[in-house]
Structure 1
């Protein structure tokens, strides 16, 4: 039977890796006529495709779903949905504000926020790790960086969720459109406030730089607060879940192997497991010609399980070499927030191992995964913990 890959199939969403393995073996260039895309699954092809922004354009955004695909993607995904020269200009300006020094300075604040949520979880004994910890921590960190007050954060999370949901039919409810518009108005009010009264936060730095229009700053905030916090959310949940599933690796993690825990979780269950691109001209892969303007899905999640690069790739192994993992992309679109995501994950997992016994439990029947076409992660992760 020929391999069939449909990212909207619930069974594939639950566990895409057997299908990815067949794609790499049998159909390294795969065509899904129903949903109108081609897919690359081997590490070599994925790395090359991510690095070739001239052939594979970002100008329709990275999201496969029809509602999000198109030139309008830059409105809420900022420079992630741009090519040079716009991408070069915007990324350079944002990078000046989003400096390594500014990111490193967040560590004490990240640690304080993490401790607060962990203490709440330990006190309760049973809590939802995904909802009550992994989703809240990154949003709080980004909110502190940007300057969103604590009183507004729950509402910002609720309204930004629409950006990371999908509808394979390409339809979006009126409530979803209203949510996005209201969120845009809220971000615009933050920009206007910082223009009038600068503070020591990222938005004030972007306003002071003067290189971005208010509309461009708002688009960047959509990216940063919405999609930007989601990667860390799913990374934390993956690390917690897969360590639970593999007691030997959990012992290593709780024994101090925090950085390997982060890196192997990124490889093993990559949060951004598919990135879409528009083909600027006809191209050929594996003897098959793909026409210009085709939608190409670059399967990072498959590349990170490629047996030609990672021995025994389906083993969760904190001792492996993850240096060729491409979880945050390649080339000019390498994730600007990657260092922050790694910092948040390291600090959060350090604090968890200090406060929580390694004998924690997860209710597997209560685990629920996101149904986003490009992103893989858990939205429900019921956990029972005891103090360390």
Structure 2
């Protein structure tokens, strides 16, 4: 079986993990936490970073840290992972959706302004699959209407927008370090900001709402979570971050090789290589079937699986999620591109441990099936 993703752990991961074990620093109090936060914020170009348990937790904490409350509206794409909408709904706020571009998979920026109301508090930018959202127009809208911007850069480690690192935009940004990301800590996430007040609040929220004042250690002004990353996880993150540029280069090599080897297969759309503001980082190699294709994406994935090729479907749109329908959200709303992307889309193996021979096997299977 060629998995859809396999992480690459061939740097200093073992060395740093052994250091944690040898020193006994395995909890969230260990020195790799601060090191990972400092090195990640420096790499991205942010002043502050707060390491947490996962990217979903980072989103939920970001919503609270920005004082987004019940009844507030947050504009976001329908085509995304449920974590984004879930973070808003759990805060009692209302996700307001826009459709996505069919070729780039990213939110339709031109639809945002029409969705802004007096209740709108923030815009959530979510970069999908390899290319960033066109950020500048969103920042202009945010300034015009005095809105917060949350940047979900979970899939964008090492990517840039107009030569500036993704994860450095808006009032607050988040990363995920799940095993399929360019940097992994097994599970893990991070919040980044340039606002010292937001930073201090996130540190408190991460740690049960403890005060930074040691004399008031067990006196709590608000409820937080236990979202602390362990020193073991952070040790992995430090080792992974040391090789980030190498990882970006490998991802683009995988993407460009697939582009060359699959370009003459009729009936499929390959991911676009670049936009005016960025070159594709190919977090995943995402394919859509053309409308005239005789097979469905589900059929193709099943047949690839029978040949030992791992795949994943695209995101299921937020406005079609059963859990949100039960809440009477998104009634009678339709986002055609989001719906079509789910129906026609899937991605093939593209993890950092993927070899050239494995790529050739994937391509051979794709040719036989398509």
- TM-score band by shorter chain is under 0.3
> Per residue, is there more helix in 1 or in 2?
1
Bigger RCO (CA 8 Å, 6+ sep):
1
TM (norm. structure 1) is 0.26
TM (norm. structure 2) is 0.27
> Per residue, is there more strand in 1 or in 2?
2
